[in-house]
Amino acid sequence: MTTTAPARIRGYRPGDHDALHEICIRTGKGGQDATGHYRDPGILPAIFASPYAELEPGLVFVADDGGPVIGYIVGTADSTAFFAAFRERWLPTVAARYPAPEGTPEGPDAHLRDLLHHAERMLVPEIAAEYPAHLHIDLLPEGQKRGLGRKLMETYLGALRERGVPGVHLGMDPANTNALAFYERMGFERLPEPPGREDGFHLGLRL
């Protein structure tokens, strides 16, 4: 009989970098594998995983069941400071591999390269003022339906509370109804969107 080993949530270690990279790609298309969707899918972790491990490793936690890491949560306590550091410290390390597109971006790769070079677009000052932290969480299929998402989230939120952070937010794809249900169970609520922003919506949680 096959059994699933109990998983633990622990802090990030430098040796986890490749696992974060892989998980981000394997969950990068609405929770599904994005490998064949991009010419170079490494652009995904270059935006949504690796900079957090580099710039704020103390707020990166992983799910570990004794083998390769099967999930993670990454984030920052201060979104405004994070995106400033992203431009000043992180972007120069990856810009040559992922150059900014010339002209209007066309295709999924170009759109992500454009986002990489203008990551501050993800910052919504009106939201970050009250909910300064933000996060990204991903679990491989073998890590799902085991309560690990909740454990990762509780660990991350606990770390934010220890730092005195007043609130946390995240961006939502309206089509990802399973994720929305999870966040709502965790207590997140939909936030009012500033005028002119129509690409999805945001959820927030006061801590």
Dump strand ranges (E) for 87-158. Answer: 133-139
In this predicted structure, what is the pLDDT of residue 7? 86
Nearest to 44 by CA among 57, 25, 26: 25
For 54-81, give the DSSP string: HH-GGG-EEEESSSS--EEEEEES-HHH
Note whether 155 and 9 are within 8 A (CB): yes
The three-state secondary structure class of 78 is coil
Note whether 38 and 44 are within 8 A (CB): yes
Which structural domains are found in the chain, ordered by start? 8-165 (3.40.630.30)
Q: What is the pLDDT of residues 153-194, one digit of tens each?
A: 999 999 999 999 999 999 988 777 888 999 999 999 999 988
Q: What is the pLDDT of residues 102-130, one digit of tens each?
A: 989 899 999 999 999 999 999 999 999 99
Whether 36 shows a pLDDT value over 80: the answer reads yes
With tokens 């009250």, the residue in question is 130
In this predicted structure, what is the pLDDT of residue 198? 64
Give the pLDDT band of residue 4 (cuts 50, 70, 90): low
Q: How far is CA 64 from CA 117, 136, 152, in A?
A: 32, 17, 11
- As a whole number of angstroms, the distance between CA 90 and CA 83 comes to 9
Q: What percent of the chain has pLDDT over 70?
A: 96
Provide the whole-model pTM.
0.93
Dump strand ranges (E) for 70-109. Answer: 71-76
In this predicted structure, what is the pLDDT of residue 41? 96
- E strand or H helix at 136, and its extent? strand 133-139
Q: What percent of the chain has pLDDT over 90?
A: 80
